[in-house]
């Protein structure tokens, strides 16, 4: 009994180690109106936008399963970027008919106001949702890369001061069907391959309420992984909308006892009110927002502290500019931000740039491994070494996609 009490006491003490994630301490009261003003303020630095860069052409290309966006300016500058191919394979016609053609002949430096116009152009707002925002992000990232290349500055500098280039990463496991022992081996391999100081596990049944594939897996997994990986590894957990409030709180307490650093999507992701209930009840920071694409709902979530860490996806939410606005609103409320990393393309390079200049970024960013798009950077290996991936410092995205790979890519029309 005495030993059990000692273990309980020490686990509670361990549970108070969220020094890097102060949950309640730094929260600031902020109203929706203050957030609206932040949301409506331009985020790009005007000093890089004075001389016009007129867009001559926007092309969508495809090399097998990967899409590329090529944008050329009237005075000969060129950008080739990798959008979110995983989603574009289903929604690329929206890019061609509703997004790309709108920008031909326009001044790239007006991108912020042009994106507002794009929303109304041809009633695009009726298409708003992931299918539209992924296409907008594909265009916006190409335009930002082009501006960076013409001005000779890395993408982050278009928004503000570069604060860090050594970006600490975490690897996330996608497993829900293996045993805790097998999962500990998988995570151990991730750590050995990348040197990551943080990993994320999957808990619950993924959009399935409480049911695990293996009965009781989550309850065993949470303490098992902490014990197996030791106290020095930062652990995150993602339930992918698995629970109802009562069970979400019960599982959250187990995460707290085992010193996990955040708890992602504890309840259905669009149920902001239930997310708020869970956030209020728990000490562990609650993270969410990867499926969110409404700036007004982000605003509500931040003003009402529905979550402690906001996770806009740079593609699903329409690009860097909207992601930066979410981060700025979170910062004003004393909250942290970490972009959700959607798979495919060069999404991890987008995340590196975002993390390079956002002041309220969390300690680790998700890294899903290198892309299958052949590319290189003069200033980064683009690989995880000792848990760090270096953000390129060359102009724009700072990544050169293999010219042969681009040459073999076919134009996508229709």
Instruction: Give dist(CA 192, CA 189) in Å, integer.
Output: 5
Minimum CB–partner distance for residue 275 and Mg ion (Å): 13
- Residue burial 53-79, b: 16+ Cβ < 10 Å; e: rest: bebeebbbbbbeebbbbbbbbeeebeb
- Residue 292 binds Mg ion (CB under 5 A): no
Contact 338, 288 (CB under 8 A): no
Minimum CB–partner distance for residue 18 and Mg ion (Å): 19
Minimum CB–partner distance for residue 182 and Mg ion (Å): 21
In order of 36, 161, 215, the CA distances from 296 in angstroms are 8, 27, 39
CB closer to Mg ion, 73 vs 239: 239
Largest Cα–Cα separation, the chain: 77
Minimum CB–partner distance for residue 238 and Mg ion (Å): 4
Take residue 90 and report the two structure tokens written for it: 């289903």
Minimum CB–partner distance for residue 226 and Mg ion (Å): 20
Minimum CB–partner distance for residue 21 and Mg ion (Å): 17
User: Cα torsion for 275, 281, 287, 291, to the nearest 10°?
Assistant: -10
Minimum CB–partner distance for residue 200 and Mg ion (Å): 8
Q: Where does this chain touch Mg ion (CB under 5 A) — which range of 8-16, 121-129, 235-243, 348-356?
A: 235-243
Given 140, 183, 238, 394, the residue binding Mg ion (CB under 5 A): 238
Round to the nearest angstrom and report the end-to-end CA distance of the chain: 70
Segment 256-275, which members bind Mg ion (CB under 5 A)? 264
Q: Which of 145, 109, 164, 84 is nearest to 398 (CA)?
A: 145
- CA geometry: angle 142, 81, 375, nearest 5 deg: 155
Q: Where does this chain touch Mg ion (CB under 5 A) — which range of 140-148, 233-241, 292-300, 376-384?
A: 233-241
Residues in the interface with Mg ion (CB under 5 A) total 2
Take residue 343 and report the two structure tokens written for it: 């798979």
Q: Which residues bind Mg ion (CB under 5 A)?
A: 238, 264
């Amino acid at each position: 009994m005495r030993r059990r009490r000692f273990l309980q006491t020490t686990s509670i003490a361990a549970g108070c180690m969220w020094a890097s994630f102060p949950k309640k301490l730094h929260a600031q009261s902020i109203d929706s109106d203050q957030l609206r003003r932040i949301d409506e303020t331009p985020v790009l630095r005007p000093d890089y936008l004075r001389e016009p860069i007129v867009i001559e052409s926007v092309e969508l290309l495809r090399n097998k399963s990967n899409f590329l966006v090529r944008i050329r300016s009237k005075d000969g500058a060129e950008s080739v970027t990798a959008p979110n191919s995983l989603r574009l394979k289903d929604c690329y016609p929206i890019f061609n008919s509703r997004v790309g053609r709108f920008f031909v002949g326009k001044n790239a430096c007006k991108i912020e106001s042009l994106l507002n116009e794009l929303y109304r152009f041809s009633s695009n707002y009726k298409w708003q949702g992931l299918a539209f925002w992924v296409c907008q992000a594909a265009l916006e990232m190409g335009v930002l890369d082009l501006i960076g290349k013409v001005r000779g500055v890395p993408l982050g500098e278009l928004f503000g001061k570069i604060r860090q280039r050594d970006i600490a990463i975490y690897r996330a496991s996608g497993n829900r069907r293996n045993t805790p022992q097998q999962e500990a081996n998988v995570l151990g391999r991730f750590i050995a391959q990348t040197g990551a100081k943080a990993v994320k596990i999957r808990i619950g049944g993924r959009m399935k309420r409480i049911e695990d594939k293996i009965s009781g897996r989550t309850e065993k997994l949470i303490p098992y992984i902490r014990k197996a990986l030791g106290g020095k590894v930062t652990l995150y957990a993602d339930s992918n909308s698995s629970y109802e409030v009562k069970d979400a709180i019960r599982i959250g307490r187990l995460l707290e006892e085992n010193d996990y650093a955040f708890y992602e999507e504890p309840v259905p992701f669009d149920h902001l009110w239930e997310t708020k209930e869970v956030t209020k009840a728990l000490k562990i920071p609650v993270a969410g927002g990867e499926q969110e694409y409404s700036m007004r709902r982000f605003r509500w979530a931040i003003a009402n502290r529905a979550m402690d860490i906001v996770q806009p996806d740079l593609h699903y939410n329409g690009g860097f500019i909207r992601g930066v606005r979410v981060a700025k609103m979170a910062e004003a409320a004393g909250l942290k931000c970490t972009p959700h990393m959607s798979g495919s393309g060069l999404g991890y390079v987008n995340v590196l740039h975002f993390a390079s200049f956002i002041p309220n970024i969390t300690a680790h960013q998700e890294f899903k491994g290198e892309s299958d798009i052949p590319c290189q950077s003069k200033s980064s290996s683009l690989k995880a070494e000792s848990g760090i991936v270096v953000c390129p410092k060359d102009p724009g995205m700072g990544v050169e996609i293999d010219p042969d790979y681009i040459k073999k890519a076919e134009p996508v029309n229709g």
